[in-house]
Amino acid sequence: MEAMGEVEQRIDGRVRERLLERYRAIDGPTCRRLTEAGLAWLRTNQQVVNSLNVFPVPDGDTGTNMVLTMQAAWDEIASHSEAAIGRLAKSIAQGALMGARGNSGVILSQLWRGFARALDDATLMDVPLFVRGLAEARDTAYKGVVRPVEGTILTVAKDVASAAEQAQKEGASSALQILERIVQAAHESVQRTPDLLPVLKQAGVVDSGGMGLYLLLEGMLRSAYRQPLDTPTVAVRSLGELTLEQASESVEPGQDWEVVVDFRPDATLDVQGFYRRLEAMGTSIQVGEGDGLYRMHIHVPDRKEYDPIDYVRSLGTVTRVAIENLMAQSAAQLSTEKDRLRLTAVQPGQIGAIAVSPGFGISRVFASLGIAAIVDGGQTMNPSTQEILRAFEELPTDKIIILPNNKNIELAARQAAEHSVKSVAVIPSHSVPQGIAAMLCFEVGGDFDEIVGRMTGALKNVRQGEITIATRSVEIDGVPVREGQVIGLLHGKLATAGDSLQETLLETLRAGRAQEAELITLFYGADLSAQQANQLADLVRQRWPEQEVEVVEGGQPHYPLILSIE
């Protein structure tokens, strides 16, 4: 994350001179283009922003919310040919207001609102007006809260406004100079957020909303510099995180071979240059680092599979090489997609059960238990109230039961239930195992209230656990966790952290009182193969020979294993 966000000031001096003149004052069409670029850059880096989200509620949706808010703003001006920047800014503010999603989205819309008010009906935005707009944006945003929390997007907006004022005092004469200064200031401000907000420091992250605002501004600057907006900022990840992503990527034509090379560079690796060379060879480039050892991952066309290896060999000592034929892999994938879901067809008057499912395998399990509809969603991919509501409305019955299967989705399900004209019962299942336990009590033709009661009652009969990889170093519930470690959660609380999947799995099951259970089920995620899952199951069987152990393909992302202990 450190490498991320360094604003590339490396731009040819003469080119910059021309640009300073070109961007001396900004008109409507230019502002429109910059806004589009800001949105594009924010979208490209959306997942980075989501992964930082720990405040005020750690639900991993800040990036998504900011993108959706900016998208609504963009939709408002997409077909605009407004020449005056003032009226254009008003439309942007209007769109952002109508589409504001989440906390950060509301703040973003307030920033636009203040900015637009300062611009009023101006035709061009020169330096003084730009500076006034940013000051007004800050003031408007701060009026929206009683106790502003510093170390958030508000702080970044404040630092941006001050930097603009400072640049004007120092004699800036082009709006581009202001943009350059505020991008730099936003970057520095984002890096300081952990010092202001302890919850960020504890989690080892910078503020997500502030990062979103920075990316929005940086996208504008990149567009002015004519830099690309479609490849995420170069970020060297930890090795643990890297392996997690590899398995869940999709394969496109022309990406025939996957090449992974581990190496130890002879000298300090110039990451920017390294990326540039790799970009010329192939796609899906990822670079991970741990203790001076680098892992490079790339997809290359047929007959080019040895090029990246030769290149890496010129940089240092290669320790491991793995080459895989992706076309063969994707053929196997296609065949599994073929077993379509067999959902239960409900008749009017019967009860329709809906489950929120994070993966294909889990959907299949739910389908086999009598589910009538599936809504895709899970950790970090919460479905919206509208999506859930649509599922309610599409079933041809007015008695509906929904299993959210995630704590964060329960609220959306409840809201959808309130909005629906049908009678909807939300079974508060907070995990997939709980949802499955509840479905075992389901009858499509039974008495509605009785079934709801039985299903809710079944929730407490199951203990559930999850195994995942820590995406950053953090201390939770007094247990220190290092980035890349395998962690085990019981009922959503951290139970243990270890260095291997095996160790963490056994320790989590022990903490979940596996010896008292009858049945242990392992739902393995998209990152594990059936063979790996079976090996883990054998390990569990050796430790707890009295218990029955079942292995089910879950297909969920992020969590290699979901456990059910009954």
SS3 296: strand
Q: What are the structure tokens assigned to 545, written together?
A: 């020979």
**Considering only residues 117-136, where is the footprint of another protein by CB under 8 A?**
117
* φ and ψ of 258, to 5 deg: -100, 125
Between 111 and 175, name the residue whose CB sits nearer to another protein: 111
SS3 297: strand
**Nearest distance from residue 149's CB to another protein, in Å?**
6
**Nearest distance from residue 410's CB to another protein, in Å?**
9
Overall size of the chain counted in residues = 566
Q: Is 147 in the site for another protein (CB under 8 A)?
A: yes
Comparing CA positions, the residue from 307, 309, 299 lying closest to residue 250 is 299
Stretch that binds another protein, among 11-19, 143-151, 323-331, 342-350 (CB under 8 A): 143-151
Residue of 36, 59, 76, 159 that binds another protein (CB under 8 A): 59
Using CB under 8 A as the criterion, what x/- string covers residues 339-378 for binding another protein? ----------------------------------------
**Nearest distance from residue 153's CB to another protein, in Å?**
9
Residue of 45, 110, 406, 464 that binds another protein (CB under 8 A): 110
Q: Is 215 in the site for another protein (CB under 8 A)?
A: no
Q: Is 105 in the site for another protein (CB under 8 A)?
A: yes
Comparing CA positions, the residue from 175, 55, 164 lying closest to residue 107 is 55
Q: What are the structure tokens assigned to 520, written together?
A: 């242990």
> Scanning the structure block, which residue is given the tokens 């001179």?
17
> In 10 A of CB 469, how many CB atoms?
20
| Amino acid of residue 516 | E
Integer Cα distance of 375 and 367 in angstroms: 12
**Nearest distance from residue 96's CB to another protein, in Å?**
9
Residue of 91, 140, 177, 547 that binds another protein (CB under 8 A): 140
User: How would you classify the pairing of strands 561-565 and 519-524?
Assistant: antiparallel
CA angle 246, 250, 251 (to 5 degrees): 105
Q: Is 145 in the site for another protein (CB under 8 A)?
A: yes
Stretch that binds another protein, among 113-121, 212-220, 252-260, 495-503 (CB under 8 A): 113-121
Residue of 3, 15, 57, 83 that binds another protein (CB under 8 A): 57
SS3 content of the chain, % helix, strand, coil (to 5): 50, 20, 35
Comparing CA positions, the residue from 333, 309, 336 lying closest to residue 321 is 309
Give me the torsion for CA of 269, 273, 278, 279, rounded to 10°.
Answer: 150
Integer Cα distance of 29 and 84 in angstroms: 8
Residue of 78, 83, 98, 327 that binds another protein (CB under 8 A): 98
Q: What are the structure tokens assigned to 493, written together?
A: 């609380």
Using CB under 8 A as the criterion, what x/- string covers residues 11-50 for binding another protein? ----------------------------------------
**Considering only residues 414-433, where is the footprint of another protein by CB under 8 A?**
414-415, 428
Between 209 and 554, name the residue whose CB sits nearer to another protein: 209
Between 98 and 322, name the residue whose CB sits nearer to another protein: 98
Output the CA–CA distances (angstroms, integers) from residue 403 to 139, 414, 420, 428, 436, in the order listed.
Answer: 43, 11, 16, 7, 9
Strand ranges (E), 139-250: 237-238
Q: Is 479 in the site for another protein (CB under 8 A)?
A: no
Residue of 109, 255, 286, 508 that binds another protein (CB under 8 A): 109
Q: Is 102 in the site for another protein (CB under 8 A)?
A: yes
DSSP symbols for 312-365? HHTTEEEEEEEEEEHHHHHHHHHHHHTS------PPTTSEEEEEEESSHHHHHH
SS3 527: coil
Between 149 and 281, name the residue whose CB sits nearer to another protein: 149
Between 220 and 489, name the residue whose CB sits nearer to another protein: 489
User: How would you classify the pairing of strands 486-490 and 463-469?
Assistant: antiparallel
Integer Cα distance of 148 and 317 in angstroms: 52
Residue of 32, 113, 138, 297 that binds another protein (CB under 8 A): 113
Between 512 and 555, name the residue whose CB sits nearer to another protein: 512
Residue of 19, 89, 107, 400 that binds another protein (CB under 8 A): 107
Task: Using CB under 8 A, count the residues that bind another protein.
Answer: 32
Between 301 and 428, name the residue whose CB sits nearer to another protein: 428
Q: Is 95 in the site for another protein (CB under 8 A)?
A: no
Stretch that binds another protein, among 75-83, 91-99, 163-171, 512-520 (CB under 8 A): 91-99
Task: Note whether 128 and 168 are within 8 A (CB).
Answer: yes
Q: What are the structure tokens assigned to 79, written together?
A: 């077909």
Between 10 and 147, name the residue whose CB sits nearer to another protein: 147
Between 121 and 188, name the residue whose CB sits nearer to another protein: 121
User: Which residues contact another protein by CB under 8 A?
Assistant: 56-57, 59, 90, 93, 97-103, 105-107, 109-110, 113-114, 116-117, 140, 143-147, 149, 411, 414-415, 428
